[in-house]
Structure 1
Amino acid sequence: MSRSEQPTVVLVHGAFADASSYAAVIPGLLKRGLKVVAPAVPNRSLLGDAAYIASVVRQIDGPVVLVGHSYGGAVITVAGVEDNVRALVYLSGYALEVGESLGELQGRFPDSDLAAALVYTPFPVEGSDTPGTDVSVEPDKFPAIFAADVDPDLARVLAVSQRPLAAQAFAEAAPAAAWKTKPSFGVVSSADRTINPDVERFGYRRAGMTTIEVDSSHLVMLAHPGRVVAFIGEAVEAASA
């Protein structure tokens, strides 16, 4: 397969983060000669975020491998139904079923340490007198919960540069589940304190994914970038077959 036919890897970040969370993975993907796009997810609503990522995917000429970290897994579950998406990769992610919300999936399992560290802040909603609610993580607790095996200086930077997630995103049901029709791959972060690893295992098993487990914090792509690059490479090969 020529390079022009190789999939573009689209990296979808999660809640409380931005595209820089893929900073350690992108160089490895580029060295493999892959095209990479790492968009900024609005983090306003599951349906709106998925629609935005779907619009990014539709504008890419050729096949796409869609990678989602954490909440980004829920986003790619919906956006991944686009015709040119050839494979999905979940990193410490949520793989929702049709009609299921983040809150419903998480509610099946014991809370992680994240639940007690969340901060709720109102924000203005254009055209409405009712404010929305932003959800973020207490900065002092962020390093231990999200990034226990990431460089401490970087973890502190990430803690104060969070991209909050609107609370609305937790309640919206997924209208589609791309893993039903697309080859899917999942990384379980077995030392995850942000998402209960059993939530990841359950979603991946239900979807019949090719799965690996990495002894990692939630930010597996910063803690173990080589493993993540190699795993994405497997998905690219499957999508290129």
Structure 2
Amino acid sequence: MNSLLAGLALAAATALTANASAQTAKPTVVLVHGAFADASSWNNVIRILKRDGYPVIAVANPLRSVSADGAYLSNLVGSISTPVVLVGHSYGGSVITEAARGHGNVKALVYVSAFAPEAGETAAALSGRFPGSTLGPTLAPPVTLPNGGVDLYIQPQKFHDQFAADVPAADAALMAATQRPITEAALNEKSGAPSWDSIPSWFIYGDQDKNIPPKALAFMAQRAHSRQTDVIRGASHVVMVSHPEPVAKLIARASADATH
């Protein structure tokens, strides 16, 4: 009799522990970098999220085309069994918008100085919809690809001021040296049906962004019915590098709101 009671007590305790674990489990945060950057641009945010118990994956975005990059990310999302929060920076916003469609485990979209295109829109057109982008003159001569397309880079000597003005010069120099190019075709490829019209979204960006005009970012946030939009005073295009704390805080807020 005593052994039966002990067994029942153990089973009950196990069930309670499992239930508590399920209630406190955090979604997987998938971070997607944009053009002229790489996955290390998320390092400061990753440190905070990992400290707070979030599983994190920083994707190596191919930067080849919206459809192909979206499919690449979609395959990754499909391999994750937990709820997912997709976070995109810059062009990475176009990619998460594309990749989230059809995945019931994607619970939130977080746009970090990022494009949130409507169907048929391009990143290039959205950048030019409002005045303020100074990216064009800072680009290096295009690199011709075997398929006839071209890769785009930012000139290293102009990278700091254009892309990361609020980052220490030494760090910006490293970022300029390790920047990954994007194809011109990717910036001019029309987006598919948006996922932000059915998945809740959050936005954060700097008011000194020189790549995507802040007015364009505000427009996209309002159009997507952003649950929360944070504008960081004095922040450049790489707000996640210079201000990782508010970016991580917004990701945590999106994670909590969307999964409870």
- What is the TM-score of this pair, normalised by structure 1? 0.94
Q: By percentage of residues, which structure has more strand? A: 1
Which residue of 1 is the match for residue 237 of structure 2?
218
Identity %: 43
Matches within 5 A, 1:66-145: 66-81=86-101, 82-125=103-146, 130-145=147-162
Superposed displacement of residue 131, structure 1: 2.1
The one-character-per-residue Cα deviations of 1:103-151 (angstroms, maximum 9, x if unpaired) are 22223212412121112423433xxxx4220011011000011111112
Q: By percentage of residues, which structure has more helix? A: 2
Distance in 1 of aligned mates of 2:209 and 2:124: 18
Matches within 5 A, 1:155-174: 155-174=172-191
Q: Is the 8 A contact 2:145 2:151 kept in 1?
A: no
The one-character-per-residue Cα deviations of 1:179-217 (angstroms, maximum 9, x if unpaired) are 000110000211111211111111111111021110211
State yes or no: 1:194 paired with 2:211. Answer: yes
Distance in 2 of aligned mates of 1:152 and 1:107: 28
Given residue 232 of structure 1, which amino acid in structure 2 is its aligned partner? I
Which residue of 2 is the match for residue 16 of structure 1?
36
Given residue 24 of structure 1, which amino acid in structure 2 is its aligned partner? N
Q: Is the 8 A contact 1:94 1:200 kept in 2?
A: yes
State yes or no: 1:31 paired with 2:51. Answer: yes
How many pairs are equivalent? 237
Q: Is the 8 A contact 2:94 2:116 kept in 1?
A: yes
Given residue 70 of structure 2, which amino acid in structure 1 is its aligned partner? A
SS in 2 for 1:180: coil
Q: Structure 1: 5+ residue runs without aligned partners?
A: none
Distance in 2 of aligned mates of 1:12 and 1:162: 14
> Comparing 199-208 with 108-117, which one deviates more in the overlay?
108-117
Distance in 1 of aligned mates of 2:216 and 2:153: 20
The one-character-per-residue Cα deviations of 1:14-59 (angstroms, maximum 9, x if unpaired) are 0001000001110100011010000100001111111111111111
Q: Is the 8 A contact 1:132 1:166 kept in 2?
A: yes
SS in 1 for 2:180: coil
Tell me the C-alpha RMSD between the 2 structures.
1.4
Distance in 2 of aligned mates of 1:90 and 1:2: 29
Larger gyration radius, structure 1 or structure 2: 2
Q: Is the 8 A contact 2:163 2:236 kept in 1?
A: yes
Superposed displacement of residue 98, structure 1: 1.3
Which residue of 2 is the match for residue 208 of structure 1?
225
- What is the TM-score of this pair, normalised by structure 2? 0.87
